[in-house]
Amino acid sequence: MTRDPAVAAGAAPPPDDRRARVRGTAYPRYVAGKLGGAAVSLLAVLVTSFFLFRLIPGDPVKFMTGGRQVSAEQLAAYRREFGLDLPLWEQFTDYCGKALTGDLGTSYQFRAPVVDRIGEALPNTLLLTGTSFVLYTVIGVVLGTRAAWRHGGPGDRFHTGLALVLYSIPSFWLGLLLIIVFSVGAGPVPGLFPTGGMESGGEEGFAYVLDVAHHLVLPVVTLVAVEYGQTLLVARSALLDEMGGDYLTTARAKGLRDVLVRRRHAVPNALLPTMTLVFINLGRTVAGVILVETVFSWPGLGGLFYQALSVPDLPLVQGLFFAFAAAVIVMNTLADLLHPLLDPRVGR
């Protein structure tokens, strides 16, 4: 193999070789930095979840007695059982040590491991928020790109205005309004959907699937109506930034139809900001929407979190808070790691 004499003599490699070597080492450093930042964020969440919820007023021991008259010795026994008699720093070190092994403690009100309670409610939340996520992401991206491509037109003004209005509406208020109109019935509109819950009970097989889908309609409509506007606005803004690109003018000059210019060239280059939002929203599907699940009595993580706050069930609240935050951090980190693959300018 022939070698460059200058390189063999110890001279600096050509500029192209230096750039290739930098690119080869830049991405691993980028990945290491993002993973390190995620680890620090998770540690901060772990610490915050312990101290934050100890500010909530209320005595979980008195809740566990069910309002009965109990002696001071019995209250002390309850505190010993759940470690509430220990100094705060001992409770904190015990909590962190167990959390690092996957043990988030035992729920006060359910007398069951927090991890088990989260595992039972998680599929219900993923069904609700996952269905909503797919719908509002697709609707937001499609309508946002169409609105940007014909910006200033009637469709753009209508969709942008509607998205802003719906995005500003509190989700719990919209959910209550839908229950009043479509569950209870208002005027000529009969009650078509259940007022809450996930199932009516007693159904099996395909009838059970239809029953769950029937209960799913109003909560999904609520989430889609409130959330799709954010995706629409981000997709619209990102595409508008690409509209003046020279590569679009070149594509048109080659004779490509307008729809192909948008689909093959403009939209792929505008997807980076939208993908970031999509991954963040994907992380939020684990958290669910606490108010929507509470309004519709949906048996998911959001409703469980609201129930735990009312006690307060400290281990369950801490575990849910950590799970919610960890899902968002993991998805946000994954989006950061994929950015250089979508746009080579990132991570260099």
Joined tokens for residue 331 = 């998805």
Residue-level pLDDT at 19: 43
- Report DSSP state, residue 113: B
Question: Which ranges constitute the DSSP H helices of 82-204?
Answer: 88-99, 114-149, 154-167, 171-178
- CA 56/CA 50 separation, integer angstroms: 11
| CA distances in angstroms from 332 to 25, 41, 95, 329, listed in the order given | 22, 11, 26, 5
| CA distances in angstroms from 13 to 1, 20, 342, listed in the order given | 17, 11, 29
Residue-level pLDDT at 218: 92
- Report DSSP state, residue 55: G
Residue-level pLDDT at 145: 84
Q: Count of residues for the chain? A: 348
Query: Exposed (0-12), middle (13-18) or buried (19+): which is 55, by Cβ within 10 Å?
Result: exposed
Residue-level pLDDT at 220: 93
Contact between 232 and 189 (Cβ < 8 Å): no
How far does Cα 311 stand from its chain's mean position? Answer: 25
Q: Mind listing the pLDDT tens digit for each residue in 52-82?
A: 777 766 666 666 666 666 667 776 777 777 6
Q: What is the dihedral of CA 157, 133, 131, 114, to 10 degrees?
A: -150
- CA 42/CA 55 separation, integer angstroms: 21
**Terminal CA-CA length for the chain:** 31
| CA distances in angstroms from 195 to 99, 178, 186, 306, listed in the order given | 38, 9, 14, 19
Question: What residues of the chain score a pLDDT lower than 70?
Answer: 1-25, 56-71, 75, 82, 187, 244-245, 249, 258, 263-265, 287-288, 342-348
Q: At what angle do helices 114-149 and 301-309 cross, to 10 degrees?
A: 120
Residue-level pLDDT at 1: 44
Nearest to 308 by CA among 110, 49, 76, 98: 110
Structural domains of the chain in order of their starting residue, each with its CATH number: 29-58+104-342 (1.10.3720.10)
Residue-level pLDDT at 22: 42
- CA 322/CA 283 separation, integer angstroms: 13
Residue-level pLDDT at 221: 93
For tokens 């994907």, the residue is: 282
- CA 313/CA 320 separation, integer angstroms: 11
How far does Cα 253 stand from its chain's mean position? Answer: 42
- CA 202/CA 76 separation, integer angstroms: 44
Q: Mind listing the pLDDT tens digit for each residue in 201-217?
A: 777 788 888 989 999 99
Nearest to 117 by CA among 128, 125, 106, 126: 106
- CA 115/CA 267 separation, integer angstroms: 41
Residue-level pLDDT at 139: 92
Give me Rg for the CA atoms of the chain.
27
Q: What is the dihedral of CA 59, 62, 63, 64, to 10 degrees?
A: 120
- CA 238/CA 264 separation, integer angstroms: 15
- Report DSSP state, residue 43: H
Amino acid at 252: R
Joined tokens for residue 44 = 């901060």
- CA 210/CA 191 separation, integer angstroms: 17
